[in-house]
Amino acid sequence: MTKENHEYHDMNMGNVQTPHNHMNHDGHMAHENHIHNHMAMSDMSGMTHDHMHMHGEGMAGMDMSDLKRRFWLSLILSVPLILITPLMGMALPFTLTFTGSNWVTLILALLIFMIGAQPFLVGAKTELQAKKPAMMALVAMGLSVSLGYSLYAFVANLLGHTHVMDFFFEFATLTVIMLLGHWLEMSTTMSAGDATAKLRELMPETIHHLMADNHVHDMPIARLAAGMQVRVLAGEKIPGDGKIVTGQTQINEALVTGESRLVDKSVGSDVIGGTVNGEGTIDLMITGAGQTSYLGQLQQTLNHTQDEKSAAETLADRVASWLFYIALAAAVIALLVWTPQRGLSFAISMSVTVLVIACPHALGLAVPLVVARTKSISAANGVLIKNRKVLPAAKNIRYALMDKTGTLTTGEFAVKKIWLLTTDLASDDEVLDLAAALDSQSTHPLARSIVKKAKHAKMADHVKNIAGYGVTGQIDKISYSLVSARYLSENGLNLEAKSASDLDEIAASEETISYLVSDGRVLAAIAQGDVIKPSAQSFISDLRAQGIVPVMVTGDSLATAKKVAQVLGLEAGSIHAQVNPQEKLALIASYQEKGKVLMIGDGINDAPALAKADISFAIGAGTQVAQASADAVLAGNELTGIVAFLGLAKRAAKKEVQNLWWGAGYNLLAIPLAAGILAPIGLILDPMVGAVLMSLSTVIVAVNALSLRK
């Protein structure tokens, strides 16, 4: 591609060279690096969507590297602070306090507050503004109260008025533990912005604007608009939706529409932005760009769907919300009850103790530790978790909706059948050897599968590409061509076969068919199509064994879908064909009315459905858009591992609930004790004892999470 503002002169359709280009499975040119184009898709450049939902949206906008940095700095500062606190002096056989150690403690605590508390204070503000206090508000309340009261205690002790217990230990440990929990959680969460960014990467940086004088002027894609005429060279990405006005080509639209065959395109044909042009050069009249294009509308649908899914409140948030109100109520009651009996100073200390005890140390790690453990086990089994919500959602999955092309099938072309139409050639192998000789220098997906299948490819001379039709060359001084059906019809070549049934099979075939031609006669026909994955049949059987109903959802034709379904044993009522992304989304919603839905896909057209489903898996060999939209990604191209993951996820979800019960249970027991509910019989929870119990509950939660096994 030329540099910006360079003009092509005398660039007529007849003298443009159309080299063969290697196209990989996800539709990108293999020799190109992924383009990080932030102006791509015109108006879509302003449609970035970097929302990340963490505990009541409290961590929205937080960068994981920033959170990691805050955690490590807070931990480093907390270690000396903890070692010189009175609590550690009681636990160790020696004391580490020294003259001025109280000042060191104060300085360290203030530094920890400035570094580590800021994310929680911002998150609490967001939750309180939304009138939905949850984990962030509970943590911020604990941090603020523990530090604030500790500052009061420091001043009181410094002035020597009285000895007041501080909460520097509790403040430091809470900050570090909560930062660790949210760092772990953020590491398993991917924002919607990743998916939409991958959509933008499907578009080229530059377009070839065809001027009125037939000169081509390169310009940024941000200037693309409906009504413009652009030129797309062989192997280039199509910049927007449009209609071909000059030229012919073949386009693989499988990852966008689900159509498994190469689609012939000629004058008047519609093309979709983001797909990759084949080996012909075409001129387009743009009909849709930016938000009005197919991918633009898909992006808007994806954003809306991910917003809906991320808005779901987690169980940990609900528990934290309950504890927030319980702790606040208990603190107020303690203040009102103890003030007339023991004075304001004692009542305040009791209220502060309640709020500090309510700090969710164990609760903050209850879910992240289980998710981290599950993520580690799953990665070893070839399943990469991206969204922590897959664990609770794994329970009671009722339906598994699966894309066909690239999910149940390999998504790659393979030779399916060969018809010998004359007596000139003796065997299928001879046909393949001749075809492979013509295709040996081509990187077209159809060519690659023929070359791969051939056993003894011959050498071809004078090989030339017939743009949009096929290839021609000489083998042993005899001219041969490997062309499409359109080439036959446009050049008056008729099919003749030894058997009428062969012609019937060819006419009825849903595969992509190429024809080997020599001296004006069609010698053979080669059918190429998608291949069902070896693991697909056993995977569907495993789903049924778990009581999950398998359903095929594809953008491909009904006839092709039925062929695959028949092999896999899918019922007719479980097949949905010729479905576009919006219809896939509607199907997900329809099935969700009857039960929880799992979605598996690999294409761009699967992205909204992957985002909408209760649990979604993207094929590792599929598009990055699908991977960014899914909750988990399969490391390879096979389906094995999903059923095992569902079992692991169910066990992990139980661990989450156990940890949440333990974390919340400790708080629910400790809060009334700290408020002095047993004071009439002489039992008041000492803050130091409370801190020890708090640490013990955190250890129990960690051990329970690590007990999760494969």
DSSP for 219-267 reads EEGGG--TT-EEEE-TTPBP-SEEEEEE--EEEE-HHHH---SEEEE-T
Mean pLDDT to the nearest integer, 307-312: 49
pLDDT tens-digit series, residues 390-406: 777 888 899 999 999 88
pLDDT at residue 11, as a whole number: 33
Q: How many CB atoms lie within 10 A of CB 83?
A: 14
Which ranges in 278-314 belong to alpha helices (H)? 294-310
User: With contact defined as beta carbons under 8 Å apart, do 587 and 237 qualify?
Assistant: no
CB of 374 closer than 8 Å to CB of 385:
yes
Q: Is the dihedral of CA 30, 35, 39, 43 positive or negative?
A: positive
Would the pLDDT of 14 be above 50? no
Cβ burial, residue 43 (10 Å; 0-12/13-18/19+): middle
Among residues 264, 283, 403, 542, which one is catalytic?
403
Please report the pLDDT score of residue 12 as a whole number.
35
The reported pLDDT for the residue numbered 688 is 64
Residue 92: half-sphere exposure toward Cβ, Cα within 13 Å: 12
CB within 8 A of 465, min separation 6: which ones?
Answer: 18, 20, 279, 442, 471
Report the pLDDT value the prediction gives residue 592, as an integer from 0 to 100: 95
| Tokens linked to 543 | 């789903």
Listed residue (278, 573, 584, 244) closest to 405, CA to CA: 584
Q: Which residues contact 239 (CB under 8 A, 6 or more apart)?
A: 203, 204, 207, 221, 224, 230, 232, 273, 286, 289
* Residue indicated by tokens 């065959």: 261
> Is 614 one of the annotated active-site residues of the chain?
no
* Rg, C-alpha atoms of the chain: 33
In this structure, the number of other CB atoms found within 10 A of the CB of residue 131 comes to: 6
Is beta strand 229-232 parallel, antiparallel or unpaired with respect to 262-265? unpaired
Residue type, 382: G
Do residues 369 and 705 lie in contact, with contact meaning Cβ atoms separated by under 8 Å?
Answer: yes
Q: Tens of pLDDT along 473-515?
A: 999 999 999 998 889 989 999 888 777 788 888 888 878 899 9
**Where does the pLDDT of residue 254 fall: very low under 50, low under 70, confident under 90, or very high at 90 and above?**
low
**Backbone dihedral region for residue 617 (phi beyond 0: left; psi -120 to 50: alpha; all else: beta):** beta
What's the Cα-to-Cα distance from 321 to each of 61, 327, 328, 402, rounded to whole Å? 22, 10, 11, 37
Share of the chain above pLDDT 90, in %: 28
| β-bridge mates for residue 244, sequence order | 284
Contact by Cβ (8 Å): 528, 512: yes
Is the CB of residue 626 less than 8 Å from the CB of residue 616? no
Let me know how long the chain is: 710
Q: Cα separations (Å) of 624 from 197, 408, 618?
A: 10, 18, 9
The confidence score (pLDDT) of residue 9 equals 33
What tens digit of pLDDT does each residue of 37-53 get? 333 333 443 333 333 34
Helix ranges (H only) for 311-358 are 315-342, 344-357
Q: How far, in Å, CA of 145 to CA of 147, rounded?
A: 6
Q: Distance from CA of residue 669 to its chain's centroid?
A: 40
What tokens appear for 360 in the block? Answer: 């969710």
Rounded average pLDDT over 296-302: 72
Report the alpha-carbon distance of residue 20 to residue 487 in Å, rounded: 19
Say if CB 648 and CB 225 are below 8 A apart.
Answer: no
Helix residue ranges per DSSP H, 25-134: 64-83, 86-91, 101-112, 118-129
Domains located in the chain, CATH noted = 7-37+204-305 (2.70.150.10), 64-187+312-372+651-706 (no CATH), 380-410+532-650 (3.40.50.1000), 414-529 (3.40.1110.10)
CA distance 693 to 690: 5
Question: What is the C-alpha separation between 299 and 197, in angstroms, rounded?
Answer: 10
Each residue's pLDDT tens digit, 102-158? 899 999 999 999 999 999 999 899 989 988 888 888 889 888 988 998 898 899 888
What is the spatial distance between Cα 415 and Cα 437, in angstroms, rounded to a whole number? 16
For the stretch 627-663, pLDDT in tens is: 888 888 887 777 878 988 898 988 888 888 888 888 7
Task: Say what the pLDDT of residue 691 is.
Answer: 64
| pLDDT tens figures, 649-703 | 888 888 888 888 887 787 788 888 888 888 778 777 766 676 667 777 778 888 8
Confidence at residue 89, expressed as pLDDT on a 0 to 100 scale: 61
Residue 6 pLDDT > 70: no
